[in-house]
Amino acid sequence: MTTDRLPGMGALVSPEGIGFRVWAPHAETVSVVGTFNDWDAAATPLAGEDDGYWYGFEPRAKVGDQYRFELVNGEQRLSKVDPYAAQVTNSVGNGVIYDHAAFDWEDDDFACPAHNELVIYELHAGTFATTEGEVGDLSEVSDRLDHLVRLGVNAVQIMPVAEFAGDYSWGYNPAHIFAVESAYGGPDALKALVRHAHRRGLAVILDVVYNHFGPSDLNLWQFDGWNQDDKGGIYFYNDWRSATPWGDTRPDYGRGEVRQFIHDNALTWLEAFHVDGLRYDMTPYMRSVDATTTNIPEGWSLCRWINTDIRERYPDKILIAEDLHSDPSVSSTGPEGGAFHAQWDAQFVHPVREALIVADDAWRSTAEVATAIGYSYGDAFARVIYTESHDEVANGQARVPQEVDPEDPTGWYSRKRSTLGAGLVLTAPGIPMIFQGQEFLEGGWFRDDVPLDWDLDEEFHGIVRLYRDLIRLRRNTAGSTAGLTGQGLLIFHNNDEANLLAFQRWRDHGPGDDTVIVANLSHEPRSGYRIGMPAPGEWRLLFNSDAAVYSDAFGDHPSADLVATDDDYDGLTASAEITIAGYSLLIYSWAG
Tell whether 20 is covered by a domain: yes
Domain of residue 520, residue span: 482-590
CA 488 to chain centre: 25
Is position 55 within any domain? yes
Examine residue 551 and state whether it is found in any structural domain, yes or no. yes
pLDDT of residue 133: 76
Within a domain: 295: no
Report pLDDT for 3: 55
Q: In this structure, is residue 463 part of a structural domain?
A: no
Q: Is residue 502 part of a domain?
A: yes
Instruction: Point out the residues of the chain with pLDDT beneath 70.
Output: 1-3
Domain count, the chain: 2
**How far apart are the two ends of the chain, measured CA to CA in Å?**
75
**Quick check: is 501 in a domain?**
yes
Is the residue at 96 inside a domain?
Answer: no
Which one of 42, 63, 80 terminates a domain? 80
Cβ neighbours around 72 below 10 Å, total: 17
Q: At 576, which CATH number?
A: 2.60.40.1180
pLDDT at 335: 84
Helix (H) or strand (E) segment spanning residue 265? helix 256-271
The pLDDT value given to residue 254: 98
CA distances, 331 to each of 81, 108, 299, 374, 379 (Å) = 36, 29, 16, 17, 9
From CA 274, how far away is CA 222, in angstroms rounded? 32
Buried residues in 410-446 as b, exposed as e (16+ CB within 10 A): bebbbbbbbbbbbbbbbbbbbbbbbbbbbbbbbbbbb
Residue 338 has a pLDDT of 86
Give per-residue pLDDT as tens, 309-335.
Answer: 999 999 999 999 999 999 999 999 888
Nearest Cα residue to 20 out of 47, 39, 51, 1: 47
DSSP string, 37-88: TTT-TTTSBPEE-GGGEEEEEETT--TT-EEEEEEEETTEEEEE--TT-S-B
Report the sign of the C-alpha dihedral through residues 357, 361, 365, 370, in that order. positive
Total residue count of the chain as it appears in this document: 592
CATH number reported for the structural domain that contains residue 34 in this entry: 2.60.40.10
Q: b/e string for 285-296 if b means 16 or more Cβ within 10 A?
A: bbbbbebeeeeb
> In this predicted structure, what is the pLDDT of residue 450?
94
Q: Which of 38, 60, 80 is the last residue of a domain?
A: 80
SS3 13: strand
Whole-angstrom distance, CA of residue 590 vs CA of residue 592: 6
For 401-424, the pLDDT digits (tens) are: 999 999 999 999 999 999 999 999
